[in-house]
Amino acid sequence: MCVDCVEYAATVPWAKWRRKIEEKGPMAREYDVIVVGVGAMGSSACYHLAKRGARAMGLEQFGIPHGLGSSHGESRMIRLCYYEHPDYVPLLHRAYALWNDLESEAGRKLLYMTGGLYMGAPDSGFIAGALRAAREHRLPHERLDRPQLKERFPQFALPDDFIGLYEPNAGFLLPELVVATQAELALKHGAELHGHEQVMEWHDDGKRVRMHTARGTYSAKRIVFCGGAWSERLMGGIGVKLMVTRQVLGWVWPKRPEVFEFGRLPVWAIDHPDGTQHYGFPMLGALGGAGGAGGRSGLKVAHHFKGEPTTAETIDRIPRASDEDDFRVAVRRFLPEADGPLMSMMVCMYTNSPDSHFIIDRHPKCERAIVACGFSGHGFKFASVVGEALADLALEGQTKLPIGFLGLGRFG
Ligand SMILES: Cc1cc2nc3c(=O)[nH]c(=O)nc-3n(C[C@H](O)[C@H](O)[C@H](O)COP(=O)(O)OP(=O)(O)OC[C@H]3O[C@@H](n4cnc5c(N)ncnc54)[C@H](O)[C@@H]3O)c2cc1C
């Protein structure tokens, strides 16, 4: 130490300062908001909270990102003509804007626009619902009859009564890269994130929420639960049953790969009479393998339906030979030129709410807690705007975003 520093140190009342710190408790462990679960929604919440200057902490039981929850597998579809309900469309407009902001701030490409093609019987809930959203919100779209479909998208072999709805403003996001980017920007804005630290217990002491992990205790004015498939156990009863299901993603090597490349194939979905859909993405090889995000070889196809019921703790994450049936049947029937060898499969989880709509609300038993769960297999595209809504709720107690229809009140 230089002479000046020694002289300065002699004047500092160390003992008094230490006593003050001890009286106030462990200052470094107190936060404005703690986010539990740093997956798609949690990493976005941490980013928005930190960007607004809040002292934010994110606790994640696995790595950031990881492949054991609901936010992995190379690509996630984003679309506007929302057949699930037109009320989602205003949120989607905001989500797109926020994805663009995130890309600009990070200097990374996360969202690829390919257009979206939805195929089915004209009176199906899927096609009629997408058309309803398109008309109600004046979204650009084209209705394609059977000959037009055949001419523009010869990759598909479809029943004669099928029509198509094409929307230009659809595409896909790179989920692992999105989670990593949101987490990195959250850190840049001053958030603290801890990977491999599971929240084991929490309680509200009347003034703050206290959170216990194997490494320590943390406290915050507000807590945001983004626990995905672990939500029910983590949150301790919000009065709604969430059903976790096992979902399989598949990649095949097409007989004619060139017609399924990025640039030639939009994101797509085909409806079935039972109300489920098969869907898929273009091959991402032209992007250097999922835009350099650890992508897989081949054409990705999956089935949007409620798979085998399971739990986050007991799910069988190893793909089984029989899992291939889930998507092979659609490849064989609707994409005959893609019907080549199996390349890989991956297991993922849906956390289904009773009506398949999201749940974003205050915890019914704890004023200081906010819950975001039940994304029911279609939440990823909204992660950017969900993070913004959660930051609003945690910091201001309310949001101007139109999320009222996603509240717990609808379950009575
Ligand atoms: C196969 C498949 C395909 C899909 N396709 C699409 C699509 O094309 N488009 C679309 O928009 N959506 C899609 N989805 C849905 C979307 O991916 C999910 O809705 C979204 O990823 C859910 O994000 P989440 O943050 O709720 O969950 P996750 O990302 O799983 O995050 C929850 C996190 O909480 C952590 N956690 C839980 N408990 C604790 C604890 N006690 N302590 C610390 N951490 C904890 C978990 O480890 C996990 O990281 C798909 C989902 C699947 C499974």
Q: Who's near 123: CB < 8 A, 6+ residues apart? A: none
Alpha-carbon distance of 267 to 272, in angstroms, equals: 17
Q: What is the mean pLDDT of each run of 10 residues along the chain (412 residues)?
A: 49 53 54 98 98 98 98 97 97 98 97 98 97 97 96 97 97 97 98 98 94 95 98 94 98 96 96 97 77 72 97 98 97 98 97 98 97 98 98 98 98 90
The 3-state DSSP class for residue 87 equals: coil
Atom 41 (ligand 1) nearest CA: 199
The DSSP symbol for 384 reads H
Alpha-carbon distance of 300 to 18, in angstroms, equals: 58
The DSSP symbol for 320 reads P
pLDDT at 129: 97
134 sits in which H/E element: helix 125-136
- DSSP-derived secondary structure for 23-59: HH--GGGEEEEEEE--SHHHHHHHHHHHHTT--EEEE
Alpha-carbon distance of 63 to 180, in angstroms, equals: 10
Residue 46's Cβ-side half-sphere holds a number of Cα atoms within 13 Å equal to 34
Mean of all residue pLDDT scores within the chain:
93
The segment(s) of the chain belonging to CATH 3.30.9.10 are 80-173+243-352
Question: What residues pair up with 181 in beta bridges, in sequence order?
Answer: none
pLDDT at 3: 44
Record the tokens describing residue 140, joined without a space.
């650009």
Crossing angle between the packed helical segments 383-396 and 40-51, to the nearest 10 degrees: 50
Overall CATH class of domain 26-68+177-237+357-411: alpha beta
Q: Who's near 408: CB < 8 A, 6+ residues apart? A: 238, 239, 240, 359, 361, 364
Strands 199-204 and 209-213, how do they pair?
antiparallel
pLDDT at 46: 98
Q: How many angstroms separate the alpha carbon of residue 2 from the centre of ligand 1?
A: 53
Q: How many angstroms separate the alpha carbon of residue 379 from the centre of ligand 1?
A: 8
Question: What residues pair up with 270 in beta bridges, in sequence order?
Answer: 119, 278
Question: What residues pair up with 116 in beta bridges, in sequence order?
Answer: 167, 267
Is residue 139 within 8 A of residue 133, CB to CB? The reply is: yes
Alpha-carbon distance of 116 to 226, in angstroms, equals: 29
Which atom of ligand 1 approaches the CA of 373 most closely? 26
277 sits in which H/E element: strand 277-280
Residue list, ligand 1 pocket, CB within 6 Å:
36-42, 59-62, 69-71, 73, 76-77, 198-199, 226-228, 230, 234, 247, 249, 302, 348-350, 375, 377-381
The segment(s) of the chain belonging to CATH 3.50.50.60 are 26-68+177-237+357-411
Q: Give which of 58, 170, 166 is closest to 112, Cα–Cα.
A: 170
Going through 318-407 in order, the beta strands assigned E by DSSP cover: 342-352, 359-363, 366-373
Q: Give which of 294, 303, 298 is closest to 282, Cα–Cα.
A: 298
pLDDT at 296: 83
- DSSP-derived secondary structure for 169-238: S-EEE-HHHHHHHHHHHHHHTT-EEESS--EEEEEE-SSSEEEEETTEEEEEEEEEE--GGGHHHHHT--
Which atom of ligand 1 approaches the CA of 379 most closely? 19
CATH topology of domain 80-173+243-352: D-Amino Acid Oxidase; Chain A, domain 2 (3.30.9)
Alpha-carbon distance of 63 to 264, in angstroms, equals: 35
Is residue 327 within 8 A of residue 303, CB to CB? The reply is: yes
Q: What are phi and psi of 150, to 5 degrees?
A: -65, -40
pLDDT at 285: 80
Q: How many angstroms separate the alpha carbon of residue 49 from the centre of ligand 1?
A: 19
Mark 101-127 as b/e (b = at least 16 C-beta within 10 Å).
ebeeebebebbbebbbbbbbbeebebb
Alpha-carbon distance of 350 to 17, in angstroms, equals: 50
Mutate to test the pocket of ligand 1, among 66, 68, 71, 172 (most ligand atoms within 8 A of CB): 71
Record the tokens describing residue 166, joined without a space.
């094409």
Record the tokens describing residue 95, joined without a space.
């989500």
Q: State the residue for tokens 């200057």.
A: 53
Tens digit of each residue's pLDDT (9 = 90 or more) over 111-163: 999 999 999 999 999 999 999 999 999 999 999 999 999 999 999 999 999 99
Q: What are phi and psi of 306, to 5 degrees?
A: -85, 110
Give first-to-last CA distance, the chain, whole Å.
Answer: 67
Q: How many angstroms separate the alpha carbon of residue 348 from the centre of ligand 1?
A: 9
